[in-house]
Amino acid sequence: MSKALNTTQSEAIFAKAQTLMPGGVSSPVRAFGSVGGTPIVMAKGEGAYMTDVDGNRYIDYVLSWGPLVLGHAYPKVVDALQKAVVNGTSYGAPTAIENELAELIIEVVPSIEMVRFVNSGTEACMSALRLARAYTGRDKIIKFSGNYHGHADMLLVQAGSGVATLGLPDSPGVPQGTTAHTLVAPYNDLDAVKQLFADNPEAVAGVIIEPIAANMGFVQPQEGYLQGLHDLCREHGALFIMDEVMTGFRVAVGGAQEAYGVDPDITCLGKVIGGGLPVGAYGGKKEIMAHVAPAGTMYQAGTLSGNPLAMTGGLTTIQELASDGVFASIAEKAEQFANGMRAIADKLNVPMQVGQQGTMFGFYFLKEANAVISNYDDAKAYADTERYGKFFHLMLAEGVYLAPSQFEAGFMSHVHNETDIQNTLEAAERSISKIVG
């Protein structure tokens, strides 16, 4: 039963926000640009739920775009943060807790031997590329269309996420010179990368990839693709950089590199690594990381980097996630949800592509029954964004908060329960029936 959603307060607050901040938001995808309507203004997060300023409650599958793998205000995390905050929020000096989080990351993420903390995924990716360029003495980088690595100038070329949502081919304000060294290949196409290496001999510093492309929806790498990229990098003296800002601690505790058994030179982390506080990191082989200042000459710094509050959020979250059975149970729920969506699509005869791995999932409504989406061009051609927009709003009215864009992934948490998932699937079946009925 779909209730009409009362959004009086949300609308009033968002109307004012638009006079104060560009588009009324602090980050573009939140503005509902691709699904239409007015963004819901949130007041509180608790477990698997968010409550908006009008008192509507939603089962949340956005989870702050991934970080909240334990759900909102997880008691152990809240306790640890409360204990930490009374000792001050930042010192701008070394702390012991940085060691603790660094040790844990080095322990769980297979390829990382040394790590540098930053404040966001954007910083992690732009720093990783600077490092690859410093290390190799080369300028060019290869990225993939529909992959999003944050909003650094050189990476804002055929990017996914909000760039895909808004349909911006690029962004004004990015000088051509900045992106002149950025080469772009389609995802899941090894030959295209071979060609780029051949056309740019001894010029490519690194290849950066989202091991699962989750900023253009949810596209998994084809068999052997990641290893093939790794091997091409080796062959041509370039570094292989896995942007695990989203997949890190989500596809497996050790990220996609653990799940696929691939050994990147540099890994970018973000999102879950802060447990809901702003943290990013890049890490890799000691020999490469030794080039970062002050150990080496590649400069990169941050006033608030490694601050004790953010480190506490990340440490407590990843410790809990890595404890017995926790990750597996979240992954099981994500699988159950994905299977449920597939069953609904079959039953109602609605063409959908549903993907899931670890604690992440994603689904496309397809414009054509037999279409398969395996890269960004496919996603743009076959994803039925209009249908997704309708579905999104019907689900919102049912009390389910999904990403306000077809080109984003969904996330499961430790605290979503059987009933939440059942209720979500029932709501999805009612909503899809209405759309196709």
Ligand X SMILES: *Cc1c(COP(=O)(O)O)cnc(C)c1O
Active site residues: 148, 243, 271
Q: 209 burial class (0-12, 13-18, 19+ CB within 10 angstroms)?
A: buried
Give least dist CB 235 to ligand X, A: 25
CA atoms lying within 13 Å on the CB side of residue 80: 22
What is the total count of residues that contact ligand X (CB under 6 A)?
A: 14
Candidates 34-42, 144-152, 176-184, 367-375: pick the segment binding ligand X (CB under 6 A).
Answer: 144-152
Task: Please identify, using beta-carbon distances, which residue of 71 and 121 lies nearer to ligand X.
Answer: 121
Nearest Cα neighbor of 320 from 136, 129, 79 is 79
Question: 294 preceded by cis ω (within 30°)?
Answer: yes
Tokens (6 digits) for 253: 């505790």
Cα 211 from Cα 187, distance rounded (Å):
10
As measured in angstroms, the least distance from the Cβ of 148 to ligand X is: 5
Given 24, 39, 71, 150, the residue binding ligand X (CB under 6 A): 150
Give the nearest distance from C-beta 149 to ligand X in angstroms. Answer: 5
Enumerate residues 227-256 that contact ligand X by CB under 6 A.
243, 245-246
Euclidean distance between the first and final Cα of the chain, in Å?
A: 16
Per rule CB under 6 A, is residue 319 in the interface with ligand X? no
* Residue of 34, 120, 145, 385 that binds ligand X (CB under 6 A): 120
Binding marks (x or -) toward ligand X, 1..20, rule CB under 6 A?
--------------------
Count CA atoms closer than 13 A to 120's CA, side-chain side: 9
By Cβ distance, which residue is nearest to ligand X? 121
Asked if 406 is part of the footprint of ligand X (rule: CB under 6 A), the reply reads: no
Give the type of residue at 66. Answer: G
> Interface with ligand X includes 157 (CB under 6 A)?
no
Q: Which of 210, 258, 320, 408 binds ligand X (CB under 6 A)?
A: 210
Q: Is 408 in the site for ligand X (CB under 6 A)?
A: no
Instruction: Please identify, among the stretches 143-151, 177-185, 294-302, 425-433, the one whose residues bind ligand X according to the rule CB under 6 A.
Output: 143-151
121 counts as binding ligand X under rule CB under 6 A: yes
Residues 251-290 that bind ligand X (CB under 6 A): 270, 280
Measured CA to CA, the distance from residue 262 to residue 110 in angstroms comes to 9
Q: Does 306 bind ligand X (CB under 6 A)?
A: no
* Contact string (CB under 6 A) for ligand X, positions 359-388, x = contact: ------------------------------
Q: Is 211 in the site for ligand X (CB under 6 A)?
A: no
Residue in 34, 136, 215, 316 binding ligand X, rule: CB under 6 A: 215
Whole-number minimum distance, CB 279 to ligand X, in Å? 9
* Residue 425 C-beta: closest distance to ligand X, Å: 26
Min dist CB 306 to ligand X, Å, is 16
Name which position in 13, 35, 81, 125 contacts ligand X (CB under 6 A). 125
Residue 213 binds ligand X, judged by CB under 6 A: no
Q: State the angle between helix axes of 308-322 and 96-108 in degrees (0 to 180), rounded to the nearest 10.
A: 30
Contact stretch for ligand X (CB under 6 A) within 148-156, 295-303, 311-319, 351-359: 148-156
Chain residues binding ligand X by CB under 6 A are 120-122, 125, 148-150, 210, 215, 243, 245-246, 270, 280
